[in-house]
Amino acid sequence: MAYARVSYTGDGTTSLYSVPFPYISQDYVEVRVAGVLLSLTIDYSWLTDSTIQFVTPPASGVQILLNRNTPKDSRLVNYQDGNILKEETLDLDSDQAFHVIQEALDAVSNVREVETFVGGVDYTGGTTTSLVLAGGEVLESSILILFDGVAQQVTEYSVSSGVITFDSAIPSGVLQVQVSYALPLTGGLPDGSVSTPKIVDGNVTAIKLATDSVPTEKVVDGAITATKLDPEVFHDLTEVVPTTSDYIPIADASDSNKKKKSVISAVLSLIASATTSVRGLIQLAVSSEVGGDNATKAITSATMAYHWGITKVWVTFNGSTGAMLGAANVTSVARNGTGDYTINFSYPFFSPNYCILGTAEDDNATGSTIVTRYSTDARTTSTCRIRTIHDAGGAVDSSYVSVAFLGYLP
């Protein structure tokens, strides 16, 4: 049995609801719809002492909660010596106490939450003056606070936004503070009363949403499509195909109407496909489109390896030692002997059928020096063996040997 609250279910048409419990002042009656605290005169008004009228009838299926919340932090009657005790004064004092008890019994009748704070872990005796409830904002009238099993007076603390603030620090020597409180089971929960831990995993799913709050067709697979959008948001749109004359550069000084067309030109220029003469979106070339005759699509570092006209590997080294003097895509040069070297690539070619170009400086004694290969020399996708010989056919080391390779990298 509830002493100071009543719950209804809206039907979308009824705007008058009865207040069956007594109260000292209409200000002490809270009205909530779907857990939201409403405002007097803005959302509802008192038609009679026992009837409220909503400005807009609550929607069908929503919970309506009328709850009495009599002041508990101060007395409504302050007796003075020598004053005449009137019946209405005694009744007011008694009614406040009586109503507070009833509201406390209503709170106890709900499922209660209990939070325990341990001294030295959750608070410091003699220092800590406030505790934060994991349950978030709760009704102050439903809270019971125990210091090592001893109940604390409601005049010794206040509760706001889920934080209990004590008038003075929790005394030294208190080993445990236990806080129990209740949340209404009907009419929805107060704003802020459900914290992230209460949602378990933090995910918002259809089960956790109010009935009919999100139509099924709006959710489906999470994708936003034209059929899921409100038809009043996007309608009667016609595709306009721009012409070449519409692409007017923003900074073109010859455009006498650039102040009017600057924004339009920028948008249309982005829509256009870029060419050598028209600004617009640049398309990226795929591997099969990379080549010297491609004049409209951009080559990236990922597709540059497929361009047939770009040197993929090159190296300049000292023939006497094999030490590299400069290189690209070469890890090392191994000197096998006089005029005999193996070049190791950082990234392998697609096949060993690459092109080899090379030069070597003459030592001014044996005549011209050339870069060549023997038919038995190793030639793989990741290594290539070359030789340097003078015009008489003998092996010779050159101070500068330069070799370049052209081909496809995978």
Neighbours of 178 (CB within 10 A): 15
Cα–Cα distance, 213 to 133 (Å, whole number)? 29
Cα–Cα distance, 245 to 131 (Å, whole number)? 70
Secondary structure (3-state) at 359: strand
Amino acid at 72: K
Secondary structure (3-state) at 349: coil
Pairing of strands 283-284, 297-298: parallel
Say which residues have a Cβ less than 8 Å from residue 235's Cβ, sequence separation at least 6. none
Neighbours of 221 (CB within 10 A): 5
Residue whose C-alpha is closest to residue 54's, from 45, 65, 67, 62: 45
Q: Report the DSSP beta bridge partners of residue 333.
A: 343
Amino acid at 152: Q
* Per-residue confidence (pLDDT) for residue 186, from 0 to 100: 43
Cα–Cα distance, 304 to 406 (Å, whole number)? 12
Decide: 360 and 378 in contact? Cβ < 8 Å.
Answer: no
From residue 193, alpha-carbon distances to 103, 164, 189 in Å are: 19, 14, 6
* Per-residue confidence (pLDDT) for residue 215, from 0 to 100: 59
> Phi/psi at 383 (nearest 5 deg)?
-140, 155
From residue 404, alpha-carbon distances to 310, 351, 377, 384 in Å are: 10, 16, 17, 11
Domain residues of the chain, as ranges?
A: 5-108, 112-182, 313-406
From residue 240, alpha-carbon distances to 99, 265, 320 in Å are: 71, 14, 69
156, 158, 164, 167: CA torsion to nearest 10: -40
Amino acid at 385: R
Tokens of 390: 């003078």
Residue-level pLDDT, tens digit, the chain, 410 residues: 678 888 899 999 999 999 999 999 999 999 999 878 999 999 999 999 999 999 999 999 888 989 999 998 888 888 888 788 888 888 888 988 898 888 887 776 655 678 899 999 999 999 999 999 887 777 777 788 999 988 898 889 998 888 999 999 999 999 999 988 875 444 444 455 555 555 555 565 555 555 555 555 555 555 666 555 555 555 555 555 655 555 445 555 555 554 445 555 556 555 566 666 666 677 787 766 766 566 667 777 667 766 766 778 999 999 999 999 999 889 999 999 999 999 999 989 888 998 999 999 876 665 688 999 999 999 999 999 999 998 878 899 888 999 999 887 76
Angle among Cα 283, 287, 289 to the nearest 5 degrees reads 60
Cα–Cα distance, 143 to 108 (Å, whole number)? 9
